[in-house]
Amino acid sequence: FQDITHPDDLESDLAHIGVLLAGKIDSYRMKKRYFRKDGNAVWVMLSVSLVRDVDGRPKHFVSQIEDISAMVEAQRSLELASRSLEQTQHLLEASQYAAQVGGWEWDIGLNTLFWTNETYRIHDLSPGEFSPSVDSAIEFYTPESVQVLTAALQLAQSEGTPYDLELEIVSARGRHVWVRTTGSVTQVHGRVIKIGGAIQDITERKHAEQWQLHYSHVLALISNETALKDVLVALALFVEQWAVTAKCCILLMAPDDAHLVLGASPSLPGYFAESVDNIEIGQNGGACGMAALNRAPVMVEDIETCEGMLPKWRELANKAGLRAVWSVPVFSSERRVVGTFAVYHVEPWAPNHTDEDLLARSAALAALAIERARHQEAQRLARTVFEANVEGVMVTSPDDRILTVNRAFENLTGYRVDEAIGNTSAKLLDSGHHGEAFWSQINEQLVQGGRWEGEVWSRRKNGEVYPIQMSIADVRDDAGIMTQRISIMSDISMQKVQAARIEQLAFYDSLTGLPNRALFLDRLENTLAAAERRGDRGAILFMDLDRFKEINDSKGHAIGDLALAETARRFLTVTRKEETLARLGGDEFVLIAEGADQRSAALIAARLLATLSEPLVLMGVAHTIGTSIGIAFYPDDGKTSEELIKHTDIAMYRAKAGGGGYRFYQAEMSTELEKHLGIAHRLGPAMEANQLQLYYQPKISLTTKKLVGAEALLRWHDPELGWISPAVFVPVAEQRGMMGPLGDWVLRESCRQLKEWQTLGFKLPGRLSINVSVQQIEDPEILGRMLEIVHAAGGVPQWLELELTESSMMSNPEHAVEIMTFLAAAGFGLSIDDFGTGYSSLSYLKRFSADEIKIDISFVRNMLSNKNDYAIVNAIIAMAQSLGMSTTAEGVELEGQAEALRGMGCQIAQGFLYSRPVAANEFAEKWLQPPIP
Ligand code: C2E
Ligand code: CA
Ligand code: CA
């Protein structure tokens, strides 16, 4: 700029810049001369402001240059005129007109005010239309301006001081006009007799100046990372202040690219803002919706008479008292519509050139702010994703130098960021456990596909070798050259710890603190194995409480829980160290007494019974409770845990039937009980007599709340016994080896039903789950049989999901792995039912080809009241996620459970909250899409 600045003005300009940079002022204005390209000097008004970054460092100058040569010329001619009386009025007028500068003179003695023609025009008057006096002329000024002007006139009058002011007037037509007005004084013998001066319309310059200030202010806001909303509000307010009746509304493009959401509308009423938030792009979205659609400004000069305007928008405008709207699209630098900028007016209105210019510029600033905000958001997100990632992230260069790592990497490897950066990852992390071939194979895959994933042994800073799951991806440039390699690492030894924790949690009953069923079974197995080796004997005592159900039902679960806890405590007082007392579930307890014979078993039973002779006092109320005890001995009454438990159960049943106390198991009891129930005999005919049915229970997505499948559950209605629960007859059928044909029936019936729904036009989303018993999977022919049944019914395996209980699979896990692999390959979905009650090891879980884990109902039931159960549910979900399986929670009865499960990341729920299992017709009616008529 030095080359084009007049040498006389250079020094002063540089001095100003120095002061500006030193931070003493924010902006400056000066008159100076520039050289034009043609070599002529031109007088300009220069305004410069400095934009600084967040840290206060100067970033750039914003300068505005205005040509004021006309003004300078006019002033000179005015001076000449007042000096030479011969100067004709005509010449003066002509030059004033050309310069758009008016003149005036106040004769103080006569108290007359003279205006030149141009002065009239500035006031939107025609010459002579108005006879000015000082008092009436001052009326044109705004209140603030009046104060300044009267003070200046007084000073001029009393002290002969000239003035040069920039003031605002309201013209005769109500236009806001900025004027520059000067006053100089004529004195005779030291007395002021006249004050005269020039007046110039500087509205345009003033606007430009205000714009410039605004512009640098907004730029500063943007570069200081001010919230987008605040920047938009500043933009809107500026436009509103410029045009007095204007109200602005800035909308932003929603992420779906099909809607506009509210950005800022500081002066419009709340209901207005609400109505324009999330409007559709297109005609439904009114002027803004159309502007965004057409990518062009939309102008409605009078909303009341505009034909294309939808009634709802007209009503809204009416309510808010708005008559005109003008909306322009806001474009990003890639010319994508990122929003709209609209101005409303309370009167019918059309923009002039200046208004258009203002709005275009405001929209451009809005675009800048929006893009900047989006960019920042994306960056912030990327940063958080990177930093907050629980997995270690490492970015390396093509020559394996570490470029950056996140915090999780530090925790994982023990190396700090600064230690890691610059080193090669091989040097830092290689455990030495893998050979050359391993790495070159990974490299090959990366070169070919750009990705690799697998397990790797790595080494921590402290030397510890540990397993990690590693995903590697190459970043390539446009030419396909690898520029960076991103490795994501997670510690899978943690998964093992977590699995151990699940096991720990899953081994103890949360209510009583006693070993649970799983741990009991484990101990019993060990005991039996050891007993067999050593030829030991012993007793199993099975306790089922009497009258517990009444307490639980009448007093509620809380009291029921107290009763169980107190009973457990009392039982423990008579339990010896070498005996194992466990809670099997519900009100059932069991005790292993190694080495006990009939006599000592009877003694133990008597002691246990005695602990309940005193009533339980629960919350100040006494409750009498008893227990019935069944006793069986190993190895005489059974060699396997199942057999033994079943037999203690039968003996307990007899004790209960006899009014409590204890009973030893006797062989004839078994058949007696079964006869009593008659189940086994009735089941076969029942199948033939069509007494069996399938009921269907919906599976609901916790995220979408929509139906995503169903479970088929067996129902048996016996003409004499009434409804018999599958929980009762399925185990009997299993013992009797009847589960094969029953299972076939279930599969056949399921397919038939699905086919029927299909023909009727109903569609079940997802798969139908059916329960498969352990006996079915023990059958070596199972796969062929199932496929045959499915195909015969005109179905495909993809229709079905097979639920296998965790414990049934764990009875012979190697076999289960094999069968499940076959079933999955054939297209069946697989699910692990009642998860948490068996105790599968993680290594098997990974190998079972299951898609889904069903969290057992017993954990879900108490998850809100019991911390342990809550933790187990949480851990199961986390573990399933880490193994890539989805989770279904069964037995969801409360909204609170659903909510908590969803929060933990569980995908699907099933339970009475949504529906009980219902017959096929009812299910179709309630849950399936009706057929199109
Ligand atoms: P399951 O597979 O764990 O089935 C879930 C059981 O929980 C069903 O009992 C169901 O009615 C019940 N249930 C569902 N939602 C809720 C709830 O919100 N609250 C409560 N308290 N209970 C709920 P159901 O129908 O009595 O079946 C019992 C068991 O019988 C089943 O347990 C399954 O192991 C077995 N079973 C049923 N049908 C078949 C079958 O076709 N084949 C085989 N092998 N076993 C079956
Ligand atoms: Ca099931
Ligand atoms: Ca279950």
Q: If we measure between CA atoms, which residue out of 495, 511, 566 comes closest to residue 868?
A: 511
Looking at residues 637-658, what average pLDDT do you find?
A: 87
Higher pLDDT, 66 or 754: 754
Three-class secondary structure of residue 667 per DSSP: helix
What is the number of the ligand 1 atom nearest to the C-alpha of 739? 44
pLDDT of residue 516: 87
- Confirm or reject: Cβ of 898 under 6 Å from ligand 1: no
Cis peptide leading into residue 132 (ω within 30°): no
Give the ligand at the shortest distance from the Cα of 831: 2
* 566 residue type, one letter: E
Q: If we measure between CA atoms, which residue out of 736, 603, 751 comes closest to residue 682?
A: 736
Three-class secondary structure of residue 715 per DSSP: strand
In terms of DSSP H, where are the helices of 30-68? Answer: none
Quote the CA–CA distance of 300 and 328 in Å, as a whole number.
12
Three-class secondary structure of residue 639 per DSSP: coil
Q: If we measure between CA atoms, which residue out of 88, 81, 72, 61 comes closest to residue 32?
A: 72
For ligand 1, atom 20: residue with the closest CA = 891
What is the number of the ligand 1 atom nearest to the C-alpha of 834? 3
Quote the CA–CA distance of 260 and 272 in Å, as a whole number.
14
Neighbour count for residue 512 (Cβ, 10 Å): 21
pLDDT band at 86 (very low <50, low <70, confident <90, very high): very low
pLDDT of residue 159: 86
Quote the CA–CA distance of 136 and 9 in Å, as a whole number.
41
- Confirm or reject: Cβ of 917 under 6 Å from ligand 1: yes
- Residue pair 141/168 in contact by the 8 Å Cβ criterion: yes
For ligand 1, atom 21: residue with the closest CA = 891
Percent helix, strand and coil across the chain, each to the nearest 5: 45, 25, 25
* 865 residue type, one letter: S
Over residues 727-760, the pLDDT tens digits come to 778 877 876 778 888 999 999 999 999 999 999 9
- Confirm or reject: Cβ of 713 under 6 Å from ligand 1: yes
Looking at residues 152-165, what average pLDDT do you find?
A: 89
- Confirm or reject: Cβ of 891 under 6 Å from ligand 1: yes
- Which of 282-296, 549-563, 643-657 shows the highest mean pLDDT? 282-296
For ligand 1, atom 43: residue with the closest CA = 771
For ligand 1, atom 12: residue with the closest CA = 891
- Confirm or reject: Cβ of 773 under 6 Å from ligand 1: yes
Quote the CA–CA distance of 295 and 393 in Å, as a whole number.
42
Distances (CA, A) of 321 to 160, 240, 272, 347, 666: 51, 16, 11, 9, 94
Q: Among 645-654, 680-689, 898-907, name the one with the lowest average pLDDT.
A: 680-689
Distance of CA 119 to the CA centre of its chain: 64
Quote the CA–CA distance of 326 and 288 in Å, as a whole number.
8
Q: How far is the CA of 561 from the centre of ligand 2 (A)?
A: 26
Give the strand order in the sheet containing 324-331.
279-280, 259-264, 246-253, 337-345, 324-331, 298-300
Nearby residues of 872 by Cβ (< 8 Å), 6 or more positions away: 502, 505, 506, 836, 859
**Bridge pairing between strands 829-835 and 800-805:** parallel
Q: How far is the CA of 909 from the centre of ligand 1 (A)?
A: 14
Three-class secondary structure of residue 34 per DSSP: strand
Over residues 216-254, the pLDDT tens digits come to 788 878 777 788 999 999 999 998 877 667 899 999 999
- Residue pair 269/320 in contact by the 8 Å Cβ criterion: yes
Higher pLDDT, 725 or 421: 421
- Residue pair 498/879 in contact by the 8 Å Cβ criterion: yes
Nearby residues of 660 by Cβ (< 8 Å), 6 or more positions away: 546, 609, 626, 627, 628
Task: Work out the burial of residue 886: count CB atoms within 10 Å of its CB; fewer than 13 is exposed, 13-18 middle, 19 or more buried.
Answer: middle
Quote the CA–CA distance of 920 and 906 in Å, as a whole number.
27
Degrees, nearest 5: CA angle 590-595-600: 75
pLDDT band at 85 (very low <50, low <70, confident <90, very high): very low
Task: Work out the burial of residue 722: count CB atoms within 10 Å of its CB; fewer than 13 is exposed, 13-18 middle, 19 or more buried.
Answer: exposed
pLDDT of residue 87: 44
Quote the CA–CA distance of 468 and 550 in Å, as a whole number.
53
pLDDT of residue 527: 92
Q: How far is the CA of 890 from the centre of ligand 3 (A)?
A: 6
Share of the chain above pLDDT 70, in %: 92
Q: How far is the CA of 726 from the centre of ligand 1 (A)?
A: 7
Quote the CA–CA distance of 174 and 325 in Å, as a whole number.
21
Looking at residues 895-905, what average pLDDT do you find?
A: 95
Task: Work out the burial of residue 444: count CB atoms within 10 Å of its CB; fewer than 13 is exposed, 13-18 middle, 19 or more buried.
Answer: exposed
Best of 745, 802, 857, 916 for a ligand 1 pocket test (most atoms within 8 Å of beta carbon): 857
* 551 residue type, one letter: I
Q: How far is the CA of 739 from the centre of ligand 2 (A)?
A: 15
- Confirm or reject: Cβ of 694 under 6 Å from ligand 1: no
- pLDDT mean across residues, the chain: 86
Quote the CA–CA distance of 815 and 810 in Å, as a whole number.
9
Three-class secondary structure of residue 782 per DSSP: helix
Give the ligand at the shortest distance from the Cα of 777: 1
For ligand 1, atom 19: residue with the closest CA = 891
- Confirm or reject: Cβ of 890 under 6 Å from ligand 1: yes
- Residue pair 842/872 in contact by the 8 Å Cβ criterion: no
- Which of 107-116, 353-362, 762-771 shows the highest mean pLDDT? 762-771
The single-letter DSSP state of residue 485 is: E
| Sheet strands (E) in 642-781 | 661-664, 692-701, 707-718, 722-724, 767-772
Q: How far is the CA of 702 from the centre of ligand 1 (A)?
A: 20
- Confirm or reject: Cβ of 286 under 6 Å from ligand 1: no
For ligand 1, atom 25: residue with the closest CA = 713
User: Is 16 a residue whose pLDDT tops 70?
Assistant: yes
The single-letter DSSP state of residue 615 is: P
Neighbour count for residue 180 (Cβ, 10 Å): 19
Looking at residues 183-199, what average pLDDT do you find?
A: 86
pLDDT of residue 841: 60
Quote the CA–CA distance of 266 and 273 in Å, as a whole number.
9
Q: How far is the CA of 715 from the centre of ligand 3 (A)?
A: 16
- Residue pair 359/310 in contact by the 8 Å Cβ criterion: no
**DSSP sequence for 812-842:** SHHHHHHHHHHHHHHT-EEEEEEETTS---H
- Confirm or reject: Cβ of 467 under 6 Å from ligand 1: no
Q: How far is the CA of 770 from the centre of ligand 1 (A)?
A: 10
pLDDT of residue 504: 58
The single-letter DSSP state of residue 5 is: B
- Residue pair 772/741 in contact by the 8 Å Cβ criterion: no
- Confirm or reject: Cβ of 22 under 6 Å from ligand 1: no
Q: How far is the CA of 783 from the centre of ligand 1 (A)?
A: 24
First vs last Cα of the chain: how many Å apart? 81
Give the ligand at the shortest distance from the Cα of 803: 2
The single-letter DSSP state of residue 424 is: B
**Bridge pairing between strands 692-701 and 908-909:** antiparallel
Q: Give a three-class secondary structure readout of 843-903.
A: HHHHHCCCCEEEECHHHHHHCCCCHHHHHHHHHHHHHHHHCCCEEEECCCCCHHHHHHHHH
- Confirm or reject: Cβ of 777 under 6 Å from ligand 1: no
Q: How far is the CA of 857 from the centre of ligand 1 (A)?
A: 10
Q: How far is the CA of 476 from the centre of ligand 2 (A)?
A: 48
pTM for the structure as a whole: 0.41
pLDDT band at 838 (very low <50, low <70, confident <90, very high): low
For ligand 1, atom 7: residue with the closest CA = 891
- Residue pair 183/174 in contact by the 8 Å Cβ criterion: no
Best of 687, 694, 713 for a ligand 1 pocket test (most atoms within 8 Å of beta carbon): 713
User: Is 813 a residue whose pLDDT tops 90?
Assistant: no
Give the ligand at the shortest distance from the Cα of 801: 2
Q: Which residue has the tokens 């790592």?
A: 405
For ligand 1, atom 4: residue with the closest CA = 713
- Confirm or reject: Cβ of 580 under 6 Å from ligand 1: no
User: Is 98 a residue whose pLDDT tops 60?
Assistant: no
Over its C-alpha atoms, the chain yields an Rg (Å, rounded) of 45
Quote the CA–CA distance of 805 and 834 in Å, as a whole number.
6
